[in-house]
């Protein structure tokens, strides 16, 4: 477990995982929806950052790409990801429903 998240919870939520850069501890978690879209979560525990990307697989176009710096915690619960920054550990700045389909709720 890292201080940022519990890895086994992310592994249970996503279809695929790979280490991008072991030196700076960057991992890539991905889930594909009906072969049409792929959601990718890049997490650097060393830098306390995350990048969230949704890609249209038919056109290979990026639908959205969100970067979050100074993350304090990522919590996985009930097929959702909750992202917390240091300024507010009571209220997540971003909530993402992963399954059955992706949706976002922001409090920026």
pTM for the complete prediction? 0.89
User: CA-CA distance, 38 to 53, in Å (whole number)?
Assistant: 8
The tokens 């959205």 sit on which residue? 64
User: Averaged over 43-63, what is the pLDDT?
Assistant: 94
The percentage of the chain sitting over the pLDDT mark of 70, rounded to a whole number, equals 95
Does residue 94 contact residue 88 with C-beta atoms inside 8 Å? no
As a whole number of angstroms, the distance between CA 57 and CA 76 comes to: 25
Q: List pLDDT tens digits, range 79-107.
A: 999 999 876 678 899 999 998 889 999 87
Band the pLDDT of 1: cuts 50, 70, 90.
very low
Please, what is the average pLDDT of the chain?
90
């Amino acid at each position: 477990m890292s201080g940022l998240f519990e890895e086994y919870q992310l592994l249970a939520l996503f279809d695929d995982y790979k280490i991008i850069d072991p030196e700076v501890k960057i991992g890539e978690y991905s889930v594909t929806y009906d072969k049409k879209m792929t959601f990718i979560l890049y997490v650097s525990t060393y830098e306390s950052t995350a990048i969230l990307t949704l890609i249209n697989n038919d056109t290979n176009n990026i639908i959205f790409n969100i970067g979050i710096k100074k993350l304090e915690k990522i919590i996985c619960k009930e097929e959702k990801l909750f992202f917390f920054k240091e300024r507010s550990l009571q209220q997540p700045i971003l909530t993402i429903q992963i399954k059955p389909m992706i949706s976002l709720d922001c409090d920026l």
